[in-house]
Amino acid sequence: MDSEDSEEVWAQAHKEGLSHPLNTDMTMPRLAEKYTSGRRALEIGCGIGKMINPFHLAGYDIMGVEQCKFAVKVSHTRFPAHSFFLSRGQFLPFRERSFDVVYTNTCLQHNFHWRKLWVVQAIHYILKEDGLFLTQEDTGGGAGVHKRRWVDNPYCLTEKGYEALMLVGGFQLLEKVVINIKTEDSVMVWAKIHET
Ligand SMILES: C[S@@+](CC[C@H](N)C(=O)[O-])C[C@H]1O[C@@H](n2cnc3c(N)ncnc32)[C@H](O)[C@@H]1O
């Protein structure tokens, strides 16, 4: 097990993160609403629920999957009306075509590339045909703080790398919205590719 994958490393990181406020940036739910009226959403790698909050505020019926036990407990406590599962993104305990929206926020970037693909394929399986996949992942090509912070992360893909990964996983890019020009943080919206 590598350090990016370790329960202790993530539990420690999440304990430190408890002092940070929950995210209130509504970009992700607003983008989801632009493309689908479906309200059943799932976050993969939800941590302590920072990005559950915007979908909660937007009134989604939301679930979270997370590999760190401590984080699952915190999310349960913070959002008792929603459901959280201790599991890995590549082994999702859900039926085929059961979600309208699935999203990740700085989660895929902590998985080696072949494991990213497993997660993307598992997401493809549980998303409805007209469902959406939204990602906010560091692309390793950013500037300033962003670039320095993840310059050593061997798992970071470039934006083109994400497009290739998604294509192999069965998704195409619908829209990209830059939410921070300085750090180049962006939300990417993906739709299932339909066979013709
Ligand atoms: C940087 S934290 C982000 C947490 C949350 N998405 C947020 O925005 O606050 C990354 C989280 O993804 C989880 N994670 C990474 N890879 C995962 C996987 N394959 N399956 C489930 N959880 C995963 C980690 O345990 C960690 O809690």
pLDDT tens, position by position, 24-71? 999 999 999 999 999 999 999 999 999 999 999 999 999 999 999 999
Between helix 69-78 and helix 7-17 the angle, nearest 10°, is: 30
Mean pLDDT of the chain: 90
For ligand 1, atom 22: residue with the closest CA: 45
pLDDT band at 185 (very low <50, low <70, confident <90, very high): confident
> Is 15 contained in some domain?
no
Q: What angle do CA 148, 151, 156 make, to 5 degrees?
A: 130
Closest residue by Cα to residue 138 from 126, 127, 125, 147? 147
User: Is 75 among the domain residues?
Assistant: yes
Closest ligand 1 atom to Cα of 108: 16
Residue 132: pLDDT band with limits 50, 70, 90: very high
**pLDDT band at residue 148 under the 50/70/90 scheme:** very low
- Mean pLDDT within 70-88: 98
Residue 149 in any domain: the answer is: yes
Mean pLDDT (whole number) for 142-156: 52
Whether pLDDT at 194 is above 80: yes
| Domain containing residue 75: CATH number | 3.40.50.150
Confirm whether 161 is domain-assigned.
yes
* In a domain? residue 16: no
d(CA 83, CA 109): 24
The reported pLDDT for the residue numbered 196 is 77
pLDDT band at 16 (very low <50, low <70, confident <90, very high): very high
Reply yes or no on whether the pLDDT at 19 is more than 70. yes
Which domain range does residue 85 map to? 3-10+24-192
Tell me which residue has tokens 């959280």. 84
Backbone angles phi, psi at 59, to 5 degrees: 85, 20
Contacts of 178 (CB under 8 A, 6+ apart): 184, 185, 186
Asked if the structure places residue 17 within a domain, the reply is no
User: What pLDDT score was predicted for residue 153?
Assistant: 62
pLDDT at 149 over 70: no
Total of domains in the chain: 1
93 lies in some domain: yes
Lining ligand 1 with CB less than 6 A are: 10, 44-47, 50-51, 65-68, 71, 88-90, 105-107, 110-111, 119
User: Which DSSP string do the residues of 95-110 spell out, in sequence order?
Assistant: -TT-EEEEEEES-GGG
Task: Please determine, for residue 138, whether its predicted confidence score (pLDDT) is greater than 90.
Answer: no
